[in-house]
Amino acid sequence: MLSVLLYLLKANAALLLFAVAYFGLLRRLTFFTLNRVYLLFALLFAAVYPALPVPALLPAEAAPAMLLPVVGNAGVAVALPAAGAPAVDWAAVGVALYGAGVVALLGRLLMQLVSLARLRRASRPAVVQGQAVRVLPGEISPFSFGQSIYLNPAQHPGPELAAVLRHELVHVRQWHTVDVLLTQLALAAAWCNPAAWLLRRALLDNLEYLADHAVLEAGLDRRAYQYSLLRLSHAANGLSLVSHFTFPTLKNRIAMMNKPFSSSGQLARYFVAGPLVLAVALGFSAARAQVVEPVAPVPVLAETARATPAPPAPAAEAQAVPAVSHRTGPVRKTHSSKPLVARTDAANPAPTQGGRLVSKISGPQPVYYVDGNVTTDAINGVDPKDIASVNVFKGEQARRLAGEAGARGIVVVTTKQKQNTPEVLAFNEKMGIVAAPVVLPPAPSVPYLAAPALAYITQRYPGARLLGVAEVKAADGSPSRYQAEVAIGRRPGYLLFDGQGQFISDSYTSYLK
């Protein structure tokens, strides 16, 4: 049992070290592929590292002898029972309780696999926009598992359906289901360690960042994609094994999509986090590795029965008794000449709401506000084109604004028609929402920007990054103009050019300074 407890201690300590390094150094970086490798390596290393043969760095300590021979009056070696022998093996009790938790989580994993098998039998194969999928009836949140994509095409408009397919196709092609299953097994094996739950959430979040990044790289409009995520955020499947099109930390996903790419200099953090964790883990294991050497038995004098008193012991033997330093219990007197078995007292250290094919989500739902008014049907009645801003509050901030009703978060939607009304302005100010500057309406992204416009951006803002180009059509039929979205650091700005690339206006100079 001691070896099992030592293995669990080392594995959980390794998970804790990797979690501290990830959340302290790597979580906010946009190197999503490297983060995936780091998190998978953390889970695999924690499982293998306790069994690695690591030489000891500290000197070996002598272990107490297990048997103490005793010399009786006739010169026959007998053994004495040690007082205070433990009646309960607490190490075995601890391992049994730990194993019960592992079995419970593995049972939950099995039940989820059974539920997925039932969903697969209820679905039918189809081809949507050239992609093989499995169609489920009713209102569901799109998801993927293994090499299959599950959705209901009838509940998604055309552009949204394309975004859903692109997102789930990334999960399928990059085999994200393997990561999900590995996190479930790691969670079952280390269920009492908070680091295991944190690393599982971090890995699942990172998989969504990878899919979102791939979708945006394919040319999908960022704002339209985010509106699709928001519209589907109220529907969930209740299965943690699948890769959802949406997931609870929606605010983090939108923030990562709008976050500028990390510079190449930030790669140095990986060369600090990885070796540091390995050095600490292996150093701890080496420092605790001790070589147990057997100790030769030490003769001990025993008193015999009162009826047959023993001759006085020689002086040399009488002086040798106090020299036994590893005896933990006194010698017990006996009135029998029969040998008794004894051991020393050596201590053993114990170390969708709305989904009709799945069950309803338990607990409170997010609180939705549209133009300052609470709505119970989420935002199904709001056209994404009419939305001016969306703000998501989670955790303690949501509880502070809405009490316990905000336990699952608050979503505040402001429409373009009422964003400047006194009531909405007052409500947004109460919620701590700063009014966004008026921007030009977004137009479909086009891969066009004349050379003079590029030269102007390079000369005027040498450190800026070009995020996208949108065509702005005039209502009077005049030639179209082109709006370039640029960013310096984390601050966006918009520049307007004509069809020949000549500069027209710069409405957001204050953001770029």
Q: What span, in angstroms and rounded, lies between the C-alpha atoms of 284 and 54?
A: 10
Asked whether 422 and 443 are in contact (CB, 8 A), the reply is no
Asked whether 56 and 289 are in contact (CB, 8 A), the reply is yes
Q: What is the model's pTM?
A: 0.50
Within the chain, which residue ranges are assigned CATH 3.10.450.40? 451-512
User: What's the pLDDT score for residue 450?
Assistant: 80
User: What's the pLDDT score for residue 340?
Assistant: 38
For the chain, 513 residues long, give each residue's pLDDT as a single digit of tens: 678 888 888 888 889 999 999 999 898 899 999 999 999 999 999 888 888 776 544 444 444 444 444 444 444 444 444 444 556 777 788 888 888 999 999 999 999 999 889 989 989 999 988 889 999 887 788 888 988 999 888 888 877 888 888 888 999 999 999 999 999 999 999 999 999 999 999 999 999 899 889 888 888 888 888 887 777 765 555 566 665 555 557 788 888 888 888 988 889 999 888 888 888 877 766 655 544 444 444 444 344 334 444 445 444 443 443 443 444 444 444 444 444 333 444 444 434 444 333 334 445 577 888 887 877 655 666 777 788 888 888 877 777 777 777 777 888 888 888 888 888 888 888 877 766 555 555 544 445 678 888 888 888 887 778 878 888 887 777 788 888 888 877 677 888 888 888 888 876 554 444
Contacts of 352 (CB under 8 A, 6+ apart): 139, 140, 141, 235, 236, 237, 238, 358, 361
Tokens of 267: 């790669």
- CATH number at 451-512: 3.10.450.40
Closest CA to 147 of 127, 126, 177, 119: 177
Q: Where are the beta strands (DSSP E) in 326-464?
A: 367-370, 373-375, 387-393, 410-415
Per DSSP, helices labelled H in 218-327 are 222-231, 250-258, 268-288, 315-320
Contacts of 268 (CB under 8 A, 6+ apart): none
User: What's the pLDDT score for residue 339?
Assistant: 42
